[in-house]
Structures are given as C-alpha cells and as structure tokens.
Structure 1
Amino acid sequence: MASLREIVARREATLAPGAANALFARIIEDIGFECCYVTGAGIANMALGAPDIGLTTLDEVAATVSRIADAVSLPLIVDADTGFGNAVNAWRTMKVLERAGAAAIQIEDQSFPKRCGHFSGKGVVPVAEMTAKIKASLDARSKDTLVIARTDVLAAEGLDSALDRAAAFIEAGADMTFVEAPRDAQQMRRIAALGVPQIANIVHGGKTPPLPQTELAAMGFAIVLYANAALQAAVRASHEVLDSLKAEGSLEAVTGRLASFEERQTAVAKDKWDALEQRYKVD
C-alpha cells in the first residue's frame, strides 16, 4: 500500500471519501480507495446530531480516528479544525491525532467558533497566528505525518488574499495547502499552481464546482475530498426507508434499498471475528 506522501506526490487528484465512523471507513477500503478523510463535519453530524460549527472536541475526534485506524489500513487524513485552540493547542493536537493513527492533519485559519467551509459568516485569524500553529504542528510530529494548512479567507476577501495566505503557509513549512470553497474552474487552476500539493473539496450542494477527477488531475490537484458523500447518502436512504416503514408498517416496499443481512456482516468483517473466536476457543 502506498504511503500518503507517495499518493500526494503523484498529483493525480486521488479521491479521498470521508468517513465519520469506522463502518464508513471499512466500506471505503473495501471498495478500493487509496486513502480516507476523517471528516470533522461528519463527526459533528453523526456523533452529536449537530452542525459543523466548532462543537466537537479533540478527544471526540481522536477517539473516532483511533477506532477508524483499528478498522482499516488506509492512510487517514484527519480534519483537525482550527487545531482546537492556539499554537500550543495545535502542538498537542498533532501529538494526539498522530498517536491515534493520522497520516495527515488538516488545520484551518478560521476564528472560533469555526464553521463548515461552505457556510457563510466565516472569520479568519491573523496570518501570524495561523503560521504559528503550522510551525507548532511541524515541531510536534514524530512520524512522517503531513501538515495540511487550509484557508477560508476566499469568501470574505477573494482569491488573491487566499493565495497570499497559502503562500505564507507554505513558507511556514506546510506540506500541503487547501484553499476552501473556490467558485469556478479558473480559480481552481490558480490554486493548483501553488508550490506544494493542493486539496480540492467537492461538497454536493456546496460552493466548489463538482469538476470530474480527470479535470482536477489535469490541473495538478493531489487529493480530492468527498468528505460527506457517504453521510449524505445515508441520511437520504435512512429518511426514505424509515418514512416507508412508518407509512406502511413494514419494510416490504423498500427492501431494494436495504443491505442484506449477509452484506451487513461482510461490511464489518464478521468472518475475521469468527476466525479469531475459533482460534482462541477453549475446548
């Protein structure tokens, strides 16, 4: 299996679906994706039933990362929000998430409380504050963990300001940068031309144009996040199935929307656990 650094170096717009839990991560691995994004928005939505507005804690994210790392062998790109505080907090965030199993951490320059990159009303901290967090994260790492520095300034100040910030983050040592929520392909081409590998974030219903992987690869993007595709699919399917159950009193009308009992057991690798049970069975 390729390391995340090797994947990023190819700049082939490698797809990184998002997982908010270990089950989604297992499905991502079983389908054959090369890496997985541990989505902060997804954790907030699924674990808290809350929007992505800075409510999750480092401990909650780390616990999710640890469970996912136990379940799959994929490199994990972990959404670390703003680093959960100042530069000292960012230093500890790297230590905690690296220990939990992160292959990369992504920190952003939003002011607190942060919010989803495709929400309105975002604010950003001064460049010096963000670069201090980047340097602290680099100092804290003890493995080949990538530091991804994201800026959300584009919505408020435009692309030139976002590119200037990304350049400052690169100078501070960020391995990758991530300009959130560009509005068109022309903006995305300018972002892809920055000096280190870049991330594109495709959100169904969000602000970034959903360009195909081939076009993003031609631009030179390294990673393309589909952070909550699985979550959005699960929400839609859950509504449809449960609406039908309530209306009809059974699942008869929606059996085609349901994984079979066997498919569910395959998704959680029950055969592996059965083999372990047999191996350690006491006669």
Structure 2
Amino acid sequence: MADAHQGRARLRQIIESGTAVVVPGAPNALTARLIEEVGFRVAYVTGAGIANTYLGVPDIGLLTLTEVASHVAAIDAAVSIPLIVDADTGFGNAVNTWYTVRTLERAGASALQLEDQTFPKRCGHFEGKSTISGDEMADKIRAAADARTDPDLLIIARTDARAEYGLAEAIRRVLLYREAGADVTFVEAPESVEEIETVAREVPGPKVLNYVQGGKTPEMPLERLQELGYSIALYANLPLVVGMHAVRNLLEVMHRQGGVADSPPFVNWTERQAVVRKDFYDALGERYSTAPPITQNGAAPRDGVPVTP
C-alpha cells in the first residue's frame, strides 16, 4: 500500500461507521488481488491459509513471525485495500507480542488479530484448544496497544475460551481485553444464533464473527449482524477451500483421462495477465528501455507511465 497510514485510517473509519462488512481471507498476494478486483474494501491475511499453502501444514502454530511478515509485506505491496492480519498468539509472551506488533505494522498491517490460546495455537474450530489466563492475555493486549507507532492500527482481541470454559467466560474475557486496549473484540466459535446474539447484547463496541466451512458457527444475514453491532463477517479461508476443491477436481480428471477433453471454467490469458497487472510492467519496461519500444498496434508508447502498479 502506498500510504499505510491512510489504509489504517480508512479501516478504522469503516469499523467505527456502524456498518458490517464482509471480509474474505487471502493466503497470498494473488488471492488478495482478486479480492480487491471484485470490490471488497478489506482483506484478511489468514495464518491458517499461509500455513496450508506455503508450508502444506495444518494451522497448529508452525508458522514463524518472519514467514508471516514476509507474506504481509508481499500482499500489502500488491493491493491498496487495508489488511487485517492474523497474528496468532503474538508468537509468545507480552514482550514477543510487542515485537510482533512492531514487525507486522512495518510490514503493512492495518489491523492485528491476537488470540488468547496457549502457544503453539490451533485453528479456532479444532478440538483440543487451551487458553492462557485472561489476565495474561490482557497484559499482551496492553503490550500490543503500546507497541503500535500508528494510533490508527487496530488491535483485535480474540478469545478461544468458549470451547474450554463456556460462553460466559468468553464474554468476561473480551470485556477484560477491551478494557486493556483492544479496539475490536472477537469471540471465536459461538455455537448457535442465541450465542451470537448474547455476545452482541453483552459486549459493546465493534465485534468480529468468523465463519468456517464445517465449523461450529451458524451463518447469519449480514443485515442482522449489523443490527446486532458486529462490524466484520469474516470468511477467513473460504476462497482457499473453494480453490482447493476446483484444483483437485481438475487434477483428478487430468489423471484419469490423461488430459482434459472438456475444458473446465477458467480465467483466460487476458484476464490472468490483468490480475497480475502485466500492462503496468510492460509500460515500465518501455519507460526504462533504450531499445525501440514494441507495441501491439505500432503506436508510440504513451507518456507519463505511472510508477506504481
């Protein structure tokens, strides 16, 4: 993003506007480009998606901060929309969390999601999760709030205590985290519409609701979420799992038939190059080339080639 502060200010304005937004997840820059191209105003950098696509491993805390930061920087360079970044547990204690916030803010994050699981964490809809104490997590939230150099960087505090201790304890925790400095709260994996409504009634301020295909949380209309005071309807890994399904189906056909007799739906060559902005790089090459320019119609290259894709 050309101006990270502007992106953070824009995201804060969206969150504080009282409207609910759908936020899809991106495990890489190409997916983020598609999210932006379609017209979404915000993207979510998914730790689970990076773990699955980059390492081919489950979401069980195997990613390092360095790996996450490199992905955030690449995605931020590719799009102009704000990025909510999955920062897991802050990669350690309160001091680690402070350092994580500094690192991911420099990489281009507009908001950071931190959770109260023990390290290494697990996907929020997996069984067998455990959490640190609410007081320890509150210390990490205070460290995160102190670490940010841009006051518009949002801190999203997530609790996974619902599975371990029940909804009442999850609500108590996010209220504690809000008092510690969290801008947005996030009760992971409520298991019914009634639980979603209870969180809305008892927790003030902006909130996240996370949908996982095959997970524990029922989907609700966006209009109803907005009425309840939720700011973000998060689909952290839906683009990823839909893409996996399509690719596997294609590969099974190719393996069975030795090729593809009937071509499945696909983006054509022009569409593919448009998503990765090949025209920009062609123009950039012409700008800095001493050789005669090559154009499709033989016309001279236009002046004023932009300096950002």
TM-score for both structures, normalised by structure 2: 0.89
Unmatched tracts of structure 1, length 5 or more = none
After the TM superposition, which of the residue ranges 25-34 and 189-198 deviates more from structure 2?
A: 189-198
Alignment of 1:59-98 (within 5 A): 59-98=66-105
| 1:265 is the counterpart of 2:273 | yes
Distance 2:95 2:29 in 1: 29
1:234 aligns with: 243
Identical-pair percentage: 51
After the TM superposition, which of the residue ranges 84-93 and 255-264 deviates more from structure 2?
A: 255-264
1:56 aligns with: 63
| 1:190 is the counterpart of 2:198 | yes
Which amino acid in 1 is paired with 2:279?
D
Given candidates 182, 187, 199, the residue that maps to 1:179 is 187
> C-alpha displacement at 1:98, in angstroms?
0.2
Alignment of 1:39-54 (within 5 A): 39-54=46-61
Distance 1:3 1:216 in 2: 21
Given candidates 236, 256, 266, the residue that maps to 2:264 is 256
Which amino acid in 2 is paired with 1:205?
G
Q: Residue 11 of structure 1 contacts residue 223 of structure 1 at CA under 8 Å; is this kept in 2?
A: no
| 1:148 is the counterpart of 2:146 | no
Distance 1:140 1:47 in 2: 28
**Which SS does the other structure have where 1:105 is aligned?**
strand
> C-alpha displacement at 1:134, in angstroms?
0.5
After the TM superposition, which of the residue ranges 182-191 and 143-152 deviates more from structure 2?
A: 182-191
Distance 2:207 2:282 in 1: 42
Distance 1:19 1:57 in 2: 18
Distance 1:180 1:105 in 2: 15
Distance 2:137 2:43 in 1: 25
After the TM superposition, which of the residue ranges 16-25 and 196-205 deviates more from structure 2?
A: 196-205
Given candidates 182, 206, 210, the residue that maps to 2:219 is 210
Distance 2:175 2:22 in 1: 24
**Which SS does the other structure have where 2:264 is aligned?**
helix
Q: Residue 41 of structure 1 contacts residue 52 of structure 1 at CA under 8 Å; is this kept in 2?
A: yes
> C-alpha displacement at 1:149, in angstroms?
0.5
Q: Residue 237 of structure 1 contacts residue 257 of structure 1 at CA under 8 Å; is this kept in 2?
A: no
| 1:138 is the counterpart of 2:129 | no
Distance 1:270 1:279 in 2: 14
| 1:275 is the counterpart of 2:278 | no
Given candidates 116, 121, 132, the residue that maps to 1:114 is 121
**Which SS does the other structure have where 2:23 is aligned?**
strand
Q: Residue 86 of structure 2 contacts residue 114 of structure 2 at CA under 8 Å; is this kept in 1?
A: yes
RMSD of the TM alignment (CA)?
1.1
Q: Residue 241 of structure 1 contacts residue 257 of structure 1 at CA under 8 Å; is this kept in 2?
A: no
Which amino acid in 1 is paired with 2:271?
E
Distance 1:155 1:224 in 2: 20
Which amino acid in 1 is paired with 2:169?
S
Distance 2:133 2:237 in 1: 29
**Which SS does the other structure have where 1:111 is aligned?**
coil
> C-alpha displacement at 1:6, in angstroms?
0.7
**Which SS does the other structure have where 2:57 is aligned?**
coil
Which amino acid in 2 is paired with 1:247?
R
Superposition misfits of 4+ residues, deviation over 3 angstroms:
none
Deviations 1:69-90 (A, max 9, x none): 0000110000000000000000
Which amino acid in 2 is paired with 1:236?
H
Deviations 1:151-183 (A, max 9, x none): 000011111100000110011011011000001
Q: Residue 178 of structure 2 contacts residue 185 of structure 2 at CA under 8 Å; is this kept in 1?
A: yes
Deviations 1:10-43 (A, max 9, x none): 2322011000000000000000000000001001
Deviations 1:175-224 (A, max 9, x none): 01100000111111122231220001011111110112122112111011
Distance 2:197 2:290 in 1: 62
Distance 1:38 1:266 in 2: 22
| 1:244 is the counterpart of 2:217 | no
Distance 2:182 2:283 in 1: 44
After the TM superposition, which of the residue ranges 106-115 and 271-280 deviates more from structure 2?
A: 271-280
